[in-house]
Structure 1
Amino acid sequence: MSVLDVAAAACLLAGALLALSAGVGLVRFHNTFNRMHAGTKPQVLGVLLVLLAMWLHRPGWATAGPLLLVAISQVITVPVAAYMIGRAAYSRESSDDDTELPSAD
């Protein structure tokens, strides 16, 4: 196993853990603004780490092009979507109570 394979595995594992933490945060947090933060920050970094792992697994320009395109689109679109969700929640004057998920009890 080469050093690149170990680095790719570490990036893949870290990215998967960040994506998992984003999903857990979406379920555990109680209002829109906290969920918005949980769904954007670790998710983008997780996707970028998975893309880096993919490139480390098969380094080269043929692989780097599409992965770079996906990375740039993630970095641009996720913050814009979070901003629009935040604006909608703020203009609606949402409180902690009206944005809660139904309980599983």
Structure 2
Amino acid sequence: MTALDAAAAGCLLLGSALALSAGIGLMRFRTTLDRMHAGTKPQVLGVLLVLLAMWLHRPTWGYAGPLLLIGVSQVITVSVAAYMVARAAYTRQSSGDDTELPSPEDRSAD
């Protein structure tokens, strides 16, 4: 195993752990803004680490272009989506609606 393969494996494991933590955060947090934070921050970093692992596995310029395009698209689209969710949650909260969602334990009691 070369040093690049070891670095790729480390990035892949760390990226998948961050993506898993984002999924767990989406299930555990109760408010919209908390869920939004859990779904954006670790998820984007996790995807970027997985893309880096893919490039470290085959470090050529042919792979770098599409992977860079995917990474930039992730950063831009997640930022815009988070802004729109936060704006909708703020509007809903200021109009008197409740933005707190039931927890998985509360949903299973129904």
Normalising by structure 1, report the TM-score: 0.94
C-alpha contact 2:22 2:39 (8 A) present in aligned 1: yes
Superposition pairs of residues 1-105 of structure 1, within 5 angstroms: 1-93=1-93, 94-95=97-98, 97=100, 99-101=101-103, 102-105=106-109
C-alpha contact 1:40 1:78 (8 A) present in aligned 2: yes
Aligned length: 104
Q: Distance in 2 between matches of 1:13 and 1:74?
A: 19
Query: Which ranges of structure 1 fall in alignment gaps of 5 or more residues?
Result: none
Q: Distance in 1 between matches of 2:48 and 2:27?
A: 22
Q: Distance in 2 between matches of 1:11 and 1:95?
A: 39
Amino acid in structure 2 at the alignment position of 1:104: S
Calculate percent identity across the aligned residue pairs: 66
Amino acid in structure 2 at the alignment position of 1:100: P
CA deviations on 1:20-60 (whole Å, 9 max, x unpaired) are 00000000000100000000000000000000000000001
Amino acid in structure 1 at the alignment position of 2:49: L
Runs of 4+ in 1 over 3 A off after TM superposition: 94-97
Query: 1:104, CA displacement in angstroms?
Result: 2.4
Q: Secondary structure at the match of 1:7?
A: helix
Q: Secondary structure at the match of 2:20?
A: helix
Root-mean-square deviation (Å): 1.3
Q: Secondary structure at the match of 2:30?
A: coil
